[in-house]
Each structure stands twice: as C-alpha cells, then as structure tokens.
Amino acid sequence: MNGSYSNASESSSSSLNSSSHDTEDDLTIATVLAEEEKQKSDGRLGKRLSHLDSIPHTPRVNGEIPDVNDATQDHKRLSERLATYDLSELQIEGDGNCQFRAIADQLFRNPDYHKHVRKQVIKQLKHHRKLYEAYVPMKYKSYLRKMKKKGEWGDHLTLQAAADRFGAKICLITSFRDTCYIEILPKDRNPTRELWLSFWSEVHYNSLYATADVPTRSPRKKHWLF
C-alpha cells in the first residue's frame, strides 16, 4: 500500500516537474525571441512617427461597446489613419484575448504567448495594488478574478500594468475621433522597448507593423469584423 502510494507520488511529482520544465523552456524561448526581435526593430516605428502628439494616458476599465454603425465608422477612421502612416495590422483573433495576443505578438512575435502575458499582467496588478486600485470601480479582488479568466477583455488598466511589467512603451493608434495616438509609459522606469498596437475603440486590438514588415502569420480564427 505504502509502496503504491510512493510510486504514485513519484509519478505525480515527475509529471509536475516535467510540466514545470516545459513551461520554463517555453518562457526561455520566448525571452530569447523577444530580445532578438527587440534588436531588429527597436525604435523603427517610433522614429517614423515621432511627430505624432500623444495625450496623457488614464488607466481605466472598459467603456461601452459602440453599436454597429458607430463601430463601422470607427473602423473606417482607423483604417484611414493606418494608411496615412503606411502601417498595417497583423490581424489578431477576436476571442476576448486580443489585447494580450497583440502584446504577445509584439513582445515574442507569437500571439500564442497571450496566456503568459495575461499571467504577468495579473501578477503586476496583484503585487502592486496601490498603483492601480483607485482606477477600478469595483472590489479589487473581484476585478483580479475577472481578469484572470481566459477570454476576458483587456482594458486600459491592463495596458498600463503590461507597460509596467515589461518595461515597455505601448503605442496605440486609435479609432477615437479626437485622439489618434496614445502612449502608455512605465510608471517607475524608462522603457526599454516599444510595442505598437492598433485600437479599434472598445472593440479590438491588433499588432502593428510598417506595411513592408508585416509577418505572414495569419490568425486561426476570424478576427473582428462586422
């Protein structure tokens, strides 16, 4: 009996260790990819678009989703802006994880690392509660539980937490009528990289590239379109 229990425990422990090693290997690979891509693309878009004026970023939870007519008009406005600056979107799946997928693509050139990005953002929000709590119009623990869930939409607060966690300046080209460009800067250090996203206001995030540099990857599922 004890021998069987011991064998089962060893097997379970071995399985957990194997899973842990796999996760560590994935994150090591992701880190290497991030550094390689950072060296290739550092400041490329920033230099091209340095003339754009940004507005101060206010962390906040999501607002109301626009109706079909407003969303369609917003998307047209965003598309025209991207064309003006010779930018193109890598289309990201519209599965509720789009913000985290777009950030993962910018960091690791792989949207599938979105679970890691979400986990790191939640860790930042949890361990530095005083920085973010005032922006959450609900019980903070309830907000964290909600944001942990796969498919829960990211908001402007998770963008700030991502900027803080990864030491990144997050640059948003938006579909807002009066706000073309938003910069989210880390609160406690100088950014070491830039992440470029398009933001179809309150609807969807995509990963941004200079038109000539868009990767050939394509989403496995249809992205947001009306």
Q: Are the C-beta atoms of 164 and 131 separated by less than 8 Å?
A: yes
pLDDT confidence bin for 226, thresholds 50/70/90: very low
Same domain, 35 and 57: no
Residues annotated as catalytic (active site), given as ranges: 95, 98, 204
Residue from 201, 1, 205, 212 nearest 104 by CA: 205
**Spatial separation of the C-alpha atoms in residues 157 and 184, rounded to whole Å:** 10
Same domain, 102 and 163: yes
- CA torsion angle 147 149 151 155 (round to 10): 0
- What is the per-residue pLDDT across 173-200, written as a single tens digit (0 to 9) for each? 999 888 889 999 999 899 999 999 999 9
Q: Is 172 exposed, middle or buried (0-12, 13-18, 19+ CB in 10 A)?
A: buried
Same domain, 54 and 32: no
Residue of 5 and 163 predicted with greater confidence: 163
Q: Is residue 125 part of a domain?
A: yes
Q: Is residue 223 part of a domain?
A: no
Q: Which domain holds residue 158?
A: 43-213
Q: Is residue 53 part of a domain?
A: yes
Q: Is residue 35 part of a domain?
A: yes
- pTM of the predicted structure, to 2 decimals: 0.75
Q: Is residue 59 part of a domain?
A: yes
Same domain, 93 and 60: yes
Same domain, 50 and 160: yes
> Over 90: is that where the pLDDT of 36 sits?
no
Specify the number of domains making up the chain. 2
Q: Is residue 174 part of a domain?
A: yes
Q: What is the mean pLDDT of residues 93-116?
A: 96
Q: What is the mean pLDDT of residues 34-47?
A: 56
The beta strands (E) that lie in the chain are given as: 87-90, 168-174, 181-184, 193-200, 204-210
Same domain, 143 and 181: yes
Same domain, 34 and 54: no
Same domain, 27 and 111: no
Cα Rg, the chain, nearest whole Å: 19
Same domain, 26 and 47: no
> Over 50: is that where the pLDDT of 5 sits?
no
Query: Two tokens at 221?
Result: 């599922």
pLDDT confidence bin for 79, thresholds 50/70/90: very high
Same domain, 35 and 135: no
Same domain, 207 and 125: yes
> Over 60: is that where the pLDDT of 60 sits?
yes
CATH number at residue 95: 3.90.70.80
Average pLDDT, the chain: 80
pLDDT of residue 171: 93
